[in-house]
Amino acid sequence: MKNQESNLKYIRAKNKVDKEKGFYSHFAIYILVNIAITAVKVWNDLNSWDTFTNELKTIDVLSSWVIWGIFLILHFISFKYGQGWEERKIQEYMNKELSDDSK
């Protein structure tokens, strides 16, 4: 019984780490891809600093940062605060499985 409990704790911890790793991967990809998109969109306006900064503020450049950023925030919220129901469901299924095994 104690071995099963430690296995269950390990599985829960591994799931949490996998979800955290997924979020950080998503965040890294968000930064790298949006920097590349911004560089491509701004590349033609490198004549002066003023045209460069004006181009950075256009909706064309900011839209990818903002829209994808909203999804990144939702991903963070689900990863950070949405695990309570998962833990309860895992516990419910494990309790059911353990009670079925003991019969």
- Interval 7-36: pLDDT, tens: 877 887 888 888 889 999 999 999 999 999
Could you tell me if residue 73 is inside a domain? yes
- Structure confidence at residue 21 (pLDDT): 93
Could you tell me if residue 27 is inside a domain? yes
Cα 54 from Cα 61, distance rounded (Å):
10
Could you tell me if residue 8 is inside a domain? no
Structural domains counted in the chain:
1
Could you tell me if residue 24 is inside a domain? yes
Could you tell me if residue 60 is inside a domain? yes
Domain extent, residue 95, equals: 16-101
pLDDT greater at residue 61 or residue 98: 61
If DSSP codes are grouped into helix, strand and coil, which group holds residue 83? Answer: coil
Which of 30-34, 35-39, 43-47, 89-93 has the lowest average pLDDT?
43-47
Residue 98 has pLDDT above 80, yes or no: no
Could you tell me if residue 4 is inside a domain? no
If DSSP codes are grouped into helix, strand and coil, which group holds residue 47? Answer: coil
Could you tell me if residue 7 is inside a domain? no
Which ranges of the chain would DSSP assign to H, the alpha helix? 2-42, 49-56, 59-81, 84-101
